[in-house]
């Protein structure tokens, strides 16, 4: 059943979790689970765009994920290289579909070649306005808030901002997602019931849907069921 377009969230965040367990259940290496998870990411992103959702944020790699084994981290970085190279090659298709790609998170720890690819992909899609995809890479919600505080504090010290002028709206302007609506819905597959440091500021009034489906097994129908759950929620925003 197709979700009602009048009740769709404007912005959906997804914590892509369960790749490693998916691989373990099948006697495979963890990196093979990430490969399958990357396929799911592409498919769900295209499906969301077809439904009419305008903003998606995918949690791809956290600031804590560097603590995984060097082999697994290297395999994940190779997947990013593959995706970024493919995105550059699909530049014309992205322009036709009006898909804008943005990467949120700290870039200082990423390999230099990945940073260059990110910059080229972002530049190549910066004029697209139909569907916005944020990929959270080397991202942490607390780190994002600390970074925003540092930038605001620097402007206060330089006399560019008065402390009494600091508001929630101003603070939001220093988030990675500045200019985009906060997520209406965040989906967490894999059976875990935590936010894992994802969009902490932006998710103050987000609805959550938790499912025990591992991310590589997450289908378009599963996504549609999440949309149906969202449509049935009564969002009061504290009123």
Question: Which are the catalytic amino acids?
Answer: 17, 65
What does the alpha-carbon distance between residue 96 and residue 98 come to, in Å, rounded to a whole number?
A: 5
DSSP E strands, 46-117:
55-62, 99-104
Q: Give the CA count within 13 Å in the CB-facing half-sphere of 145.
A: 10
Question: Are the beta carbons of 201 and 145 closer than 8 angstroms?
Answer: yes
With the CA atoms of 137, 56, 50 and 100 taken in that order, what torsion angle do they form, in degrees rounded to the nearest 10? -60
Number of Cβ within a 10 Å radius of residue 148: 19
Alpha carbon separation from 81 to 44, 77, 174, 198, 202 (Å, rounded): 20, 6, 28, 23, 28
Residue 78's SS3 state is helix
């Amino acid at each position: 059943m197709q979700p009602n377009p009048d009740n769709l969230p404007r912005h959906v965040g997804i914590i892509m979790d369960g790749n490693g367990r998916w691989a373990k259940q099948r006697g495979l290496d963890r990196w093979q689970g990430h490969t399958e998870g990357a396929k799911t990411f592409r498919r769900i992103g295209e499906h969301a765009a077809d439904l009419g959702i305008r903003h998606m944020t995918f949690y791809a790699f956290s600031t804590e994920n560097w603590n995984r084994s060097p082999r697994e981290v290297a395999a994940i970085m190779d997947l990013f290289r593959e995706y970024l190279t493919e995105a550059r090659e699909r530049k014309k298709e992205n322009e036709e579909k009006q898909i804008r790609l943005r990467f949120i998170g700290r870039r200082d720890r990423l390999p230099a070649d990945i940073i260059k690819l990110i910059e080229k992909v972002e530049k190549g899609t910066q004029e697209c306005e139909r569907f916005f995809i944020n990929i959270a890479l080397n991202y942490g919600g607390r780190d994002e808030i600390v970074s925003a505080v540092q930038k605001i504090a620097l402007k206060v010290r330089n006399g560019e901002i008065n402390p009494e002028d600091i508001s929630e709206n101003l603070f939001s302007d220093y988030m990675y997602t500045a200019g985009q609506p906060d997520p209406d819905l965040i989906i967490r597959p894999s059976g875990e019931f935590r936010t894992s440091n994802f969009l902490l500021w932006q998710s103050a009034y987000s609805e959550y849907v938790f499912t025990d489906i591992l991310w590589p097994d997450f289908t378009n129908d599963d996504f549609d069921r999440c949309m149906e759950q969202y449509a049935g929620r009564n969002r009061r925003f504290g009123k």
